Structure 1
Amino acid sequence: MGMNTLDNNKKRICMIVQQPDVQGGIAAVTSGYYGSVLEQDYDIRYVESYCNGSKLKKLTKALKGYAEFSKVLKEFKPELVHMHTSFGASFYRMQPFLFMAKKRGIPVVDHLHGADFKSFYTEASDKKKSTIKKIYGKFDRIIVLSEEWKTTMSEVVSVNKMTVIENYSKPLKEDEVEPLVDKRFADKKVLFLGELGQRKGGYDFADIVKEAQSKDPDIKFIFCGSGSEADEKAIKEAVYGASKSNREKISFPGWVRGADKDKFLREAALFMLPSYQEGLPMSILDAMGYGLPIVSTEVGGIPQLVDEGVSGKLSKAGDTKAIGSAIADLLKDRSKYEAASKASLSIARERFGFDAHVERLERVYEEILK
């Protein structure tokens, strides 16, 4: 459907998104909307505001996004704008979209995926805090990813303005997962997907590997992701150093997507995410959708995803001994492992299915459009 062809039977929504190939959770969430039931129920235009690459490339993308949005406002005339944002640079990048929409009296929903509230708000100056409150006050609704984030954000915005909509999983069928269990358990591959850096626990990898392999030297680790050059170098050196006699059991395949990501998720025995800060990580939801037990930390919305002792194990962030031990324990007992795998898949299906996510989203749209 071209820009000037309006479907008069459907409400018009403009969604501000990242380029689909951007690394990270926001693009993973919005990619699921393309071609989905959401597009059947509403006439949706996507405007991309962010891409991977140099600062210049990102700035150029944002400027093109503002120009395109201006055109969409004039020609498509959206009745609602749905933005996907985070903290940090994203907070500044989204403001022109917000002001342009509000100038035309169009309601704006912010879908907040941010994780590092501490450096963004808690440690900010009083002047910055006041600006942050003022900007968030302009949104008609803010979607947060968990009850925990609703409480955190209540320092900034009224709880009446917030709606909790968890991220979603698109789980495999049980009969797809069951045949994988034996080989997974035998191969003992531990998978990580995400940014290689401080926030996702990258500097804890070495100690976790050391602890787990001291209990079972057959455990393998696959760290899929990328980070800054300095972070990648330091993390890889530390991990290879910690696994001297087991180097062939460690791999860093880089950032994976599509068929490669699917292959790693199918072959992995369990999923590890030793994060220090999180919203509601799509990587865990993806892993649960493949029936992987989870070993992670008690941060952000993670305790809402993982049933402690049932579908996986949660430890305090930085407790590398507990995380390493939890991995070894899960890969030691076949029946305990299979039970955790089944629980993970069932939670993904029953509590975090895509259809329920879209239903909640459409409820927010309808409340505002009324």
Structure 2
Amino acid sequence: MRIVHIITRSTLGGAQSVVINLANQQSTDNEVFVISGSDGNAWEALHPNVCIIKIKQLKRAISLLDFIVIFKLLYYRFHLKPDIIHLHSSKIGILGRLCFPKRKIVYTVHGFDTIRIANKSFLWLEKLLKKRAAQIVAVSRYDFENLKKEHIQKNICYIYNGIEDNTLQTEGISAPIAQKIQNLKKQYDKLILCIARTEPPKRLDLFLDIAEQLPNFAFIWIGNTSDIQCKHSSNTYFLGSVINASLYIRYSDLFILPSNFEGLPISIIEALSYSKPVIASNVGGIKELLSTGAGFTVQNSSQAFKETILQLTTNPQLYSQLSTQARCTFLADFTVKKMADTYKQLYQKIYKRNNGRCANF
């Protein structure tokens, strides 16, 4: 089977991690292609069997260059003749549904609130194109229900994101970065970690406010692509865009994620896999990740984060309980195998419907 994943950006992020995990799993028995913009290095983690195609005109912002993108997508439609076209992200979800046959399209919505609330002006396009896919996939029950509320109801389901269990992996850890984090761990009472881009919907401002109120804790942010220009306290550290960022979760005590909108954050799933309690904004599907008692969701205020951090770090029994539950939650619901198997069943159903026979996965 020939599978084509298409996503707007190739910078490190949650949706890109889903593409990497799916493509790597699928590449053992299928021809797999990943088409994206050329703005990042996320695809360094792809298996050599996966063919990477970069469209330099494909950017996040709406542009006249999108007409070139459309022509290139049409070219790959007829040149590659894919069996499954899997679209990721809202922009390519629109362009891809215009260019490829709907009966072959799987469109994963990586956080519907970014359209429903943050970019309402594009909601009409989602509604207009709602029938231009064999399946629309939400990444949480929260998004699934909100899609239905917006009358996007046909051929929709939800599939939780999943990741590889890399907790025993040490290959890929940068010695200088690891040493820096371990030195900070010795200097401070606790080490609080966040892995995210420093752009909306992530709340860098809130992260800085929380750090300022807890000067005895080190606050580390991994994922900034440039130097942070705004003023921040001396206990705040930015390590930049780091390959295999999740490998450094092992050195942290807590994982936090302040954000305005989320789908089902990969970074939180990674923290759960390392048995790290999580404190995150009560948005999107985060509550579903933490509903088993693996962490807390809080309102977007520095006081709420501060109080919950102190509650966890001053109660060893509670901390141990959440740590154990974090790992159990990951193993039960958020492994890459569970995600890949569910998508495999979906692909097979679509392929069989289109070809009258079962695919060889």
User: Under a length normalisation based on structure 2, what TM-score does the superposition of the two structures give?
Assistant: 0.77
Secondary structure of the corresponding residue to residue 270 of structure 2: helix
Q: 2:342 aligns with which of 345, 351, 360?
A: 360
| 1:111 matches 2:108 | yes
Partner of residue 325, structure 1: 307
Secondary structure of the corresponding residue to residue 160 of structure 1: coil
Q: Could you give the per-residue CA deviations for residues 310-367 of structure 1, whole angstroms, max 9, x where no partner exists?
A: 3222212x22212111112212233322221121111111111111101111121122
Gap change, CA 1:333 and 1:137, over 3 Å in 2: same
Alpha-carbon distance, 1:202 to partner: 1.6
State the distance in 2 between where 1:67 and 1:279 align.
30
| 1:34 matches 2:23 | yes
State the distance in 1 between where 2:253 and 2:143 align.
30
State the distance in 2 between where 1:263 and 1:52 align.
19
Alpha-carbon distance, 1:45 to partner: 2.5
Partner of residue 82, structure 2: 78
State the distance in 2 between where 1:328 and 1:365 align.
46
Alpha-carbon distance, 1:52 to partner: 4.5
State the distance in 2 between where 1:163 and 1:311 align.
25
Amino acid of the structure 2 residue aligned with 1:276 = N
Alpha-carbon distance, 1:293 to partner: 0.6
Q: 2:133 aligns with which of 130, 136, 139?
A: 139
Structure with the larger helix share: 1
**What is the aligned-residue identity percentage?**
21
Secondary structure of the corresponding residue to residue 251 of structure 1: strand
Partner of residue 265, structure 2: 281
Structure having the higher Rg: 1
Alpha-carbon distance, 1:12 to partner: 2.5
Q: 1:47 aligns with which of 7, 27, 35?
A: 35
Partner of residue 25, structure 1: 14
Alignment of 1:163-312 (within 5 A): 163-172=157-166, 188-211=190-213, 213=214, 217-226=215-224, 232-234=228-230, 237=231, 239-240=232-233, 247=234, 249-258=235-244, 261-307=245-291, 310-312=293-295
| 1:14 matches 2:4 | yes
Gap change, CA 1:272 and 1:193, over 3 Å in 2: same
Secondary structure of the corresponding residue to residue 33 of structure 1: helix
State the distance in 2 between where 1:33 and 1:168 align.
9
Q: Could you give the per-residue CA deviations for residues 139-163 of structure 1, whole angstroms, max 9, x where no partner exists?
A: 2210111111011112444333211
State the distance in 2 between where 1:349 and 1:61 align.
43
Alpha-carbon distance, 1:82 to partner: 1.1
Secondary structure of the corresponding residue to residue 46 of structure 1: strand
Is the CA contact 2:57–2:66 (under 8 Å) kept in the aligned structure 1? no
Is the CA contact 1:51–1:61 (under 8 Å) kept in the aligned structure 2? no
Amino acid of the structure 2 residue aligned with 1:325 = E
Alpha-carbon distance, 1:199 to partner: 2.2
Alpha-carbon distance, 1:274 to partner: 1.6
Is the CA contact 1:79–1:106 (under 8 Å) kept in the aligned structure 2? no
Alpha-carbon distance, 1:268 to partner: 0.7
Secondary structure of the corresponding residue to residue 111 of structure 1: strand
Gap change, CA 1:130 and 1:333, over 3 Å in 2: closer
State the distance in 2 between where 1:150 and 1:277 align.
15
- Segments of structure 2 that go 5 or more residues without pairing to the other structure are 42-55, 171-183, 354-361
Partner of residue 8, structure 1: none
| 1:153 matches 2:147 | yes
Is the CA contact 1:171–1:348 (under 8 Å) kept in the aligned structure 2? no
Secondary structure of the corresponding residue to residue 40 of structure 1: coil
Is the CA contact 2:14–2:265 (under 8 Å) kept in the aligned structure 1? yes
Secondary structure of the corresponding residue to residue 119 of structure 2: helix
Gap change, CA 1:39 and 1:193, over 3 Å in 2: same
In angstroms, what is the RMSD of aligned CA positions? 3.1
Is the CA contact 1:167–1:352 (under 8 Å) kept in the aligned structure 2? yes
Is the CA contact 2:279–2:309 (under 8 Å) kept in the aligned structure 1? yes
Is the CA contact 1:171–1:345 (under 8 Å) kept in the aligned structure 2? no
- Segments of structure 1 that go 5 or more residues without pairing to the other structure are 1-10, 177-182, 241-246
Amino acid of the structure 2 residue aligned with 1:108 = I
State the distance in 2 between where 1:136 and 1:143 align.
12
Secondary structure of the corresponding residue to residue 191 of structure 1: strand
Gap change, CA 1:113 and 1:353, over 3 Å in 2: same
